Amino acid sequence: MEIELEKINPKFVELFTQTYGFTEAEFALFLTYFKPKTISKKDYYLRAGEVCKSKAYLNKGCARNFVLDDQGHERILFFAFEDWWLGDFDSYYSGKPGTNYVQILEDSELLVISKENFQKAEKEIPKLQQWYSSKMLRSASASRNRIEEMKTLSAEERYLKLMEQQPHIFQRIPLQYIACYLNIEPQSLSRIRHRLTNKH
Amino acid sequence: MEIELEKINPKFVELFTQTYGFTEAEFALFLTYFKPKTISKKDYYLRAGEVCKSKAYLNKGCARNFVLDDQGHERILFFAFEDWWLGDFDSYYSGKPGTNYVQILEDSELLVISKENFQKAEKEIPKLQQWYSSKMLRSASASRNRIEEMKTLSAEERYLKLMEQQPHIFQRIPLQYIACYLNIEPQSLSRIRHRLTNKH
DNA sequence: CGTCTATTTGAATGTACTCAAAAGCGGTGG
DNA sequence: CCACCGCTTTTGAGTACATTCAAATAGACG
């Protein structure tokens, strides 16, 4: 199955051709390693217990990445939108069954590249390594920042910060999931929102 | 200044010669890039605002890595002991001034390697890259796990988990710092400990 | 011994929680 | 188009955990 260039998010093309300087030939080769895949709302790209054997570029749609805690409650680690990559980092690199669920929240289009194909691509296009080691760095750095936020901020402050930094989330994600992401009970989030709107 | 092999933590030697298969010559070369440094209790290896231009192996002693939050309160990210590496990851890789303080808690011996020397070493000993990309992975993974803990566990549970997983910390680190690390007020930690000892 | 810091104890407060139920919203089928 | 069902969000009441402010006690160091 061929991937049609017109249907690909321009950011994808830009990332590899501009930022990482792929030649046209390299980019075309790189693309051949991907397979398009569509997943419907509420279905899963990945479940805990599975080994994550591919990276998936989220071309269109959105998803949530969560784990289950000891009591079986969902804990949302992050939401993914267009131009994000889906997967379970730890499982992908360790080759062991992972703990992450990736559930699709809107009918989505993915570009999936298997681990084998990615490794081939890496050998043929060494620039690829720069891309993912910088991605790794940013991911580690983002994790550290999120720890800080969870430790430092009150529920209300976490809500306000999210509103300020990623207001688009509120356009597409149900409040209950946002509450879970912020580690607030849905009832409490509702009260916080009530309090804030009545303040002014 | 030469580094005396006998004074180096055997784990350091083992890591590079065994785990990463450095030849004797490679290891000897690698060592020449390091400079020993001693820092006294309460002094700093690194302060916020400085650019982190080196990696430091903590050969002996211990340290705490912290940042200041918006209100100027210290937030301890982790403690470092023998066989850890000190620095500000983000600043090191970005080349920009960092946010981390690294304060020495016991008179310590470091082996310091500058960014330039490390880059030289990388070129001469390609195996080195494997080492730090796997270090990066583990660090990112550890960060994600800590997010989970902070979100999921109560103050008492966080305390008990630390007691179970890293009891040695309590031998060397003042309770106030442990409280800060666990994101608990020192008074609350004291009460938790009181409650738990009286339970039995 | 005196000073400074760390730890403990006391009392009052508040934030976010739990349990419970009502209201709102969206989709489906009659 | 309306009625019903399921799911999301809001509202209410009571509770618990950890906090703050304040002060006492204990420990470390010169």
Taking only the tens place, the pLDDT of each residue in B112-156 is 999 999 999 999 998 998 898 888 888 877 877 777 777 778 999
Please answer yes or no on whether B75 and A148 come within 8 Å at the CB atom: yes
Q: What is the pLDDT of residues A133-173, one digit of tens each?
A: 888 888 878 877 777 777 788 999 999 999 999 999 999 99
Contact criterion met (CB < 8 Å) for A69 and B148: yes
**How many beta carbons lie within 10 A of that of residue A61, not counting itself?**
22
Q: How sure is the predictor about B199, in pLDDT bands with cuts at 50, 70 and 90?
A: low
Question: What is residue A84's predicted lDDT score, i.e. its pLDDT?
Answer: 95
List Cα–Cα distances, A17 to A11, A13, A14, in angstroms.
10, 6, 5
The full set of domain ranges for chain A reads: 5-151, 153-200
* Residues of A with Cβ-Cβ distance to B150 under 8 angstroms: 147, 150-151
Residue of higher predicted confidence among B133 and A175: A175
Those residues whose C-beta lies under 8 Å from the C-beta of residue B75, and which sit 6 or more positions away, are: A148, A151, A152, B66, B67, B68, B69, B180, B183
- Distance in Å, alpha carbon of A70 to nearest chain B alpha carbon: 9
Task: Average the pLDDT over B97-106 and give the result.
Answer: 95
Tokens of B63: 């340290």
Q: By CA distance, what is A132's nearest residue in B? A: B133
DSSP string for chain A = -PPPGGGS-HHHHHIIIIIT---HHHHHHHHHTEEEEEE-TT-EEE-TTS---EEEEEEEEEEEEEEE-TTS-EEEEEEE-TT-EES-HHHHHH-S----EEEEEEEEEEEEEEHHHHHHHHHH-THHHHHHHHHHHHHHHHHHHHHHHHHH--HHHHHHHHHHH-TTHHHHS-HHHHHHHHT--HHHHHHHHHHHHHH-
User: What are the CA-CA distances from residue B68 to residues B22, B50, B63, B190 (Å)?
Assistant: 39, 14, 16, 23
Query: Which residues are CB-contacts of B43 (< 8 A; sequence separation ≥ 6)?
Result: B103, B104
SS3 B40: coil
Report the phi/psi class of residue A128: left, alpha or beta, with left for phi > 0 and alpha for psi in -120 to 50. alpha
Tell me the per-residue pLDDT of B40-84, one tens digit each, with 9 for 90 and over. Answer: 999 999 999 999 999 999 999 999 999 988 788 899 999 999 999
pLDDT at residue A101 above 70?
Answer: yes
Chain B residue closest in CA terms to A75 = B148
Pairwise CB contact (< 8 Å): A77 & B133 = no
Q: Is A152's CB within 8 Å of B89's CB? A: no
Residue in B90, B143, B149, B153 to test binding to A, most A beta-carbons within 10 Å = B143
Residue B13 — pLDDT band, cuts 50, 70, 90?
very high
Residue B123 in contact with partner chain A when CB distance is under 8 A: no
> Which of A:150-179 have CB within 8 Å of B?
150-152
Q: b or e along A51-60 (b: 16 or more beta carbons within 10 Å of the residue's beta carbon)?
A: ebebbbbbbb
Contact A57, A85 (CB under 8 A): yes
pLDDT above 80: residue B24: yes
Best of A67, A133, A137, A151 to disrupt the B interface (most B CBs within 10 Å) is A151
User: Does the pLDDT at position A200 exceed 60?
Assistant: no
Shortest CA to C1' contact from B177: nucleotide: C6
A137/B133 Cβ within 8 A: no
Q: Which has the higher per-residue pLDDT, A136 or A174?
A: A174
Task: Give B133's contacts in chain A (Cβ within 8 Å).
Answer: 133, 136
Select from B110, B115, B119, B70 the least CA-distant residue to B89.
B115
Give the pairing type, strands B54-68 and B101-114: antiparallel
Please give the mean pLDDT across all residues of chain A.
91
Residue in chain B nearest A144 by alpha carbon: B143
Question: What residue of B is the nearest CA neighbor of A94?
Answer: B137
Q: What is the CATH class of A5-151?
A: mainly beta
**Interchain proximity A147–B147, CB inside 8 Å:** yes
Given pLDDT bands bounded at 50, 70 and 90, which one contains residue B1? low
Pick out the nucleotide with least CA–C1' distance to B188. Answer: D18
| Nucleotide nearest the Cα atom of B176 (by C1') | C6
